[in-house]
Amino acid sequence: MAAGNNKNSGEKWLYSADITEGSNIRQRHPKTYQQIADIVKEEKCKGKTPFTKEKAIYLELVEFELSKGKRDKCPIVDFTFGIARNNSKKYRLVEAKFDVDDLKNIDEKNIRDKVSHSRDVMKEDGIPVDNGAIVLVNKSKIVEQQKNWFSRRLQPYGNYQIMTIDDLYFHYFVS
């Protein structure tokens, strides 16, 4: 069963449409509240996604609006969504790297900078933002080998997870 407006009584952090939709950022930038399937398609996800109606805040569009369309905007992750467990809630940041075939070509410092700036943008919402991010990659023959390598490189800096789009869905959107 897919998670939605959950009150989440288990130990697992799950997607919360209530947190995501109720975000102050979303209220101020309503065009940024979009279906995850559309966001990952825009970010060059190959193939089908399991997402149907789940929504997230497209932070790249928030940054575009905040920078008034200037090209020299600060780096920011692609999107965020609210998650809940028991009475706790927070945001999870997501950076899509669907256009990278070899994870060794991903610049970890660039991702850490994006996470840092995204956390600053989200601060005004009053809900904690997880320390780290999910890095989405396309499923491939080498991705499973590289996930551990890449996770170890980012581990000292926070809660980073390397996932495919299916991993993301089953980890946070299915109870």
**74 in any annotated domain:** yes
* pTM for the whole structure: 0.87
**Does residue 1 belong to any structural domain of this protein?**
no
Q: What is the pLDDT of residue 75?
A: 86
Residue 42 lies in a domain: yes
Determine, yes or no, domain membership for 138: yes
In a domain, 145, yes or no: yes
Q: How far apart are CA 72 and CA 91, in angstroms?
A: 26
Residue ranges for the chain with pLDDT beneath 50? 1, 7-9
What is the span of the domain harbouring residue 122?
14-172
Quick one: 156 exposed, middle or buried, by C-beta within 10 A (0-12, 13-18, 19+)? exposed
* Tens digits of residue pLDDT in 127-163: 899 888 888 887 766 677 777 777 777 877 888 888 8
The total of structural domains in the chain comes to 1
Q: Is residue 93 part of a domain?
A: yes
68 inside domain: yes
3-state secondary structure 82-124: EEEECCEEEEEEEEECCCCCCHHHCCHHHHHHHHHHHHHHHHH
Do the domain assignments include residue 2?
no
Q: What secondary structure does DSSP assign to 7-51, as a single string?
A: ---SSS-EE-HHHHHT-HHHHH-GGGEEEHHHHHHHTT--S--S-
